[in-house]
Amino acid sequence: MATNSTTYNSYITNFITGLQKQYGSQMLDSWNDDEGWLGIALMQAFKAMGTNSTSAFPVAPTISDGMNNAGAPALVQDAETLQADIEKSCTPEGGITWDKPSAGSSWYNPFYRETAANMTDAILSAELYSATRHQSYLADAMQLFDWEWNTLVLPKGGIAGGTKYGPGTVLDGVDWNPLSQQNTYPNGGTAQWTYNYGLVIGAAVELFQLTGNGVYLSDAELVANAAIKQFANSDDVMAGVETGGGDGGLFKGIFMRYMIELLSVDGQNQNLFKFVQANLSSLWNRDQTSTAGVFGGNWTGPAPSASSVDLSNELSAVMSLTSMATYQQAAENFPAQPSTASPEGISVYSALPAMMESTNPSTPYSYYVQVGGSYEPDNSNIGGWGDGKGNEAVVLPVWAQHPGTVTLSIRYSNASNAAPRDLYMNGSKVDSLTFNNTGGWDIWSTVQTTVNLQRGANTIALVAPTSSSGIYLNLNQIITSTTKTTSKTKVVSRK
């Protein structure tokens, strides 16, 4: 979410300053997943500060393939530098090693590749493509995801390291055996961590948004369902999962962040919505001190003492709660009530209630309409324009899983003059409608029209023009139903 707020920009500047102190002007690290996390953070800062940001490390880009975005803000340039350094660790067998030879530690293994290094780089590459539109970044993201899916994800389930897993399982890491020329899954490689699932989901969502290829959305759903089955108890809450501090304290927050990103593009997934709500409710109500603001690592409780603050646990909780708050604000609490979806799969959802508001900021109007119900604050009418003022609008937020054309059916009653109303889609006027006299305020009729929905959040507004002042109209329902698909989501099989 871009912002010009001086306050938020100062927060980000302080964040960058802190990174400079931590990493110096070099900013390159021995661990590829650390560089990936840092690159993602820089791209988030870039998006938050806007495209003109020049605040970042005083480092010239060192892009090996010359594909850096000349003149790009320093934040993007630094993210490009990190991505190029990570890519140097790509192995002949595919995938990126966890660390580098420069690590100089006993941990270094030139054949060990794990989910975190590969999927942070995939997400970083996707975000760089979004910012620069250089095809090499999209190609890198797709290649990394394909390697992960074929090596560390078990789409049909299977056995790894002697353990049987279900469909959609995400493994931690894998070793390449140069003698047998095969991958092996050591004990550490089959460890189950929530953040691994989250990163695969995050990369799939990025690629779905960039390519429109529905296979990535299906991949994300499969992994999300596997995670719910793996980690949730009968109440849909992650019980006894990664309850300690340290790095592990962050894992559930990372996981939940990307689960919520999936929810933002997959409004029809009620199973996912229920899981996210259950966990955040449990976190808030059972794992927070009575004085508020201190969270523990066990989201099912008991709540920690106010003096036992662990930064990782705290960050995990805040990351999860703020992600959900952002989702709710952006999506207007989608999903709500599903309409009839077509075989083509537009899958439309309407958020209720609709809001009665003025389209003229100088004359605000506070009435609310329950579309499909019968509520209005002064009880003077059944969901309509209570006093017939002009410049009023009934606003209906609608979520579309895919772009397409839908029929809009507006059920109304009118015992007065024909009522003109203008129809707006996402801020643009698309039609002028007339609601004729029905013969009584309790006699109902329907006006239909078609509207084109974009993928994601849409706003439909039925506006009473100024010329209609004093011409009343009651609404009972606004229903969206599919007629035909004008733009299908492309589904391309992965090789």
3-state SS of the chain is CCCCCHHHHHHHHHHHHHHHHHHCCCCCCCEHHHHHHHHHHHHHHHHHHCCCCCCCCCCCCCCCCCCCCCCCCHHHHHHHHHHHHHHCCECCCCCEECECHHHCCCCCCCCEEEHHHHHHHHHHHHHHHHHHCCHHHHHHHHHHHHHHHHHCEECCCEEECCEEECCCEECCEEEEECCCCEEECCCHHHCCCHHHHHHHHHHHHHHHHHHCEHHHHHHHHHHHHHHHHHHECCCCCECCCCCCCHHHHHHHHHHHHHHHHHHHHCCCCHHHHHHHHHHHHHHHHHCECCCCCCECCCCCCCCCCCCCCCHHHHHHHHHHHHHHHHHHHHHCCCCCEECCCCCCCCCEEECCCEEEEECCCCCCCCCEECCCCCCCCCCCCCCECCCCCCCEEEEEEEEECCCEEEEEEEEEEECCCCEEEEEEECCEEEEEEEECCCCEEEEEEEEEEEEEECCEEEEEEEEECHHHCCCCCEEEEEEEEEEECCCCCECCCCC
Given pLDDT bands bounded at 50, 70 and 90, which one contains residue 49? Answer: low
CATH ID of 6-335, from 1.10.357.10, 2.30.30.100, 1.10.1040.10, 1.50.10.20: 1.50.10.20
Largest Cα span, the chain = 86
Domain parsing of the chain, residue ranges: 6-335, 348-484
Q: Residue 11: how many CB atoms within 10 A of its CB?
A: 14
Return the pLDDT at 466: 66
Give the pLDDT of residue 259: 95
d(CA 202, CA 127): 11
Can you read off the two tokens belonging to residue 199? Answer: 């990163």
Task: Note the pLDDT of residue 57.
Answer: 45
Q: Please, which residues have CB within 8 angstroms of residue 133's CB and are 6 or more apart in sequence?
A: none
Split at pLDDT 50, 70, 90, the class of 229 is very high
- Residue 341: its pLDDT value, please? 31
Architecture of the 348-484 domain: Sandwich (2.60)
Which range has the top average pLDDT, 344-358, 360-374, 416-430? 416-430
* Tally of residues, the chain: 495
Chain position carrying tokens 């192995």:
91
Whether 372 has a pLDDT exceeding 50, the answer reads: no
Percent of the chain's residues with pLDDT above 70: 66
Structure tokens at 223: 């992994």
pLDDT band at 364 (very low <50, low <70, confident <90, very high): very low
Residue 392's closest CA among 428, 355, 425, 429? 355
Higher pLDDT, 358 or 281: 281
Across 72-98, average pLDDT: 86
Average pLDDT, the chain: 74
Among 285, 295, 283, 375, which residue's Cα sits nearest to residue 324?
A: 283
pLDDT tens digit sequence for 96-112: 998 887 655 566 788 88
Residue 219 CB neighbours (<10 A): 25
Instruction: Give 250's Cβ-side CA count (13 Å radius).
Output: 9
| Cα three-residue angle 373-376-380, rounded to 5 degrees | 115
How far are the Cα atoms of 31, 122, 143, 430 from residue 83, in angstroms, in the given order? Answer: 12, 9, 14, 44
Residue type, 271: N
pLDDT at 454 over 50: yes
What percent of the chain has a predicted confidence (pLDDT) above 90?
24
More confident site: 190 or 146: 146
Distances (CA, A) of 13 to 7, 19, 75: 10, 10, 11
Whole-model pTM: value is 0.66
Of residues 53 and 463, the one with the higher pLDDT is: 463
Q: Which of 79-83, 86-90, 133-137, 403-407 has the lowest mean pLDDT?
A: 403-407
Tokens 């009435």 correspond to: 367
Task: Assess whether pLDDT exceeds 90 at residue 156.
Answer: yes
